[in-house]
């Protein structure tokens, strides 16, 4: 997919959670070797003059410089607003982005769920706890991390969560709130939710949620006229020899 994009891209933006679990320890983690072919490809693309950006997600925020130095990508830990071809784009993985005013949007039960996720997110971002986890032997840390990721994957498979509608989907509500506050963007682009969404808001903004890169292989393309379109990559077509 990356090689296909590299044929005519100026920049490539990956919206995070490309890894089930990514953590950089103080000691050497031999299991990272399995990503060598991916990293070689990214390095080659970067070397060819294409800017490659990575937005960390909630499964791979624990990079402390390693991912950038292994690949040459620019790693972003926070959402970014960029301007390309006359359009303004808000780019973020999407975890933790909820409308500020939870009470007016959600019933109490949903508010509780969101607050629970926010607490967990604070724990995951805590620098002291990150320091402690970095001291663990990679084998132990990975067992915990991959175990957690597998549990959440199973939960999602057992209980898939399709588009909740524009009055309930947190990322849509977040974008609407931004527009209301006067922070206009032409496109809001997110990952995180594993659903494909291309939604036009009233004020001309569009919310794009990119599906995934294991079933739907979704990507968005912004051409030099500023038109944005969604596509699905078909791996078989170009990778019969892989």
- Residue 106 falls in which region: left (phi positive, over 0), alpha (psi -120 to 50) or beta: beta
| CA pair distance 240, 242, nearest whole angstrom | 6
Q: Cβ of residue 193: shortest distance to Mn ion, in angstroms?
A: 8
Select 58 or 218, whichever has its Cβ closest to Mn ion: 58
Backbone φ and ψ for 227, nearest 5 degrees, come out as -90, 135
Residue of minimal Cβ distance to Mn ion: 192
**Sign of the torsion angle spanned by Cα atoms 70, 193, 205, 101:** negative
Contact residues: Mn ion, CB under 5 A: 17, 57-58, 95, 192
Q: Cβ of residue 98: shortest distance to Mn ion, in angstroms?
A: 14
Helix axes 127-135, 108-125, angle to 10 degrees: 60
Q: Cβ of residue 182: shortest distance to Mn ion, in angstroms?
A: 28
Q: Cβ of residue 50: shortest distance to Mn ion, in angstroms?
A: 25
Select 171 or 222, whichever has its Cβ closest to Mn ion: 171
For 178, the token pair is 């931004």
Select 126 or 152, whichever has its Cβ closest to Mn ion: 152
Select 24 or 95, whichever has its Cβ closest to Mn ion: 95
Q: Cβ of residue 149: shortest distance to Mn ion, in angstroms?
A: 10
Select 17 or 186, whichever has its Cβ closest to Mn ion: 17
What are all long-range contacts of 162-167, with beta carbons under 8 Å and residues at least 24 apart? Answer: 162/195, 163/195, 163/197, 166/199, 167/105
């Amino acid at each position: 997919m990356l090689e296909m994009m590299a044929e005519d891209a100026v920049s490539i933006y990956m919206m995070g959670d490309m890894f089930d679990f990514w953590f950089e320890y103080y000691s050497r983690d031999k299991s990272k070797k399995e990503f060598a072919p991916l990293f070689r490809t990214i390095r080659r693309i970067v070397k060819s003059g294409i800017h490659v950006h990575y937005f960390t997600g909630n499964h791979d925020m624990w990079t402390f410089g390693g991912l950038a130095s292994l690949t040459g990508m620019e790693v972003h830990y926070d959402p970014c607003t960029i301007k390309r071809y006359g359009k303004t784009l808000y780019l973020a993985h999407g975890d933790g982005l909820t409308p500020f005013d939870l009470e007016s949007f959600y019933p109490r039960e949903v508010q509780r769920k969101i607050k629970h996720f926010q607490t967990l997110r604070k724990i995951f971002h805590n620098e002291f706890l990150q320091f402690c986890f970095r001291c663990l032997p990679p084998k132990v840390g990975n067992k915990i991390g991959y175990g957690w990721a597998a549990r959440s994957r199973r939960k999602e498979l057992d209980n898939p969560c399709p588009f909740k509608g524009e009055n309930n989907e947190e990322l849509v509500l977040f974008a609407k709130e931004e527009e209301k506050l006067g922070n206009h963007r032409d496109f809001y682009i997110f990952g995180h939710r594993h659903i494909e969404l291309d939604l036009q808001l009233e004020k001309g903004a569009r919310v794009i949620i990119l599906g995934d890169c294991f079933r739907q292989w979704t990507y968005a393309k912004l051409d030099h006229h500023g038109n944005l379109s969604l596509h699905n990559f078909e791996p078989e077509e170009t990778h019969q020899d892989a």
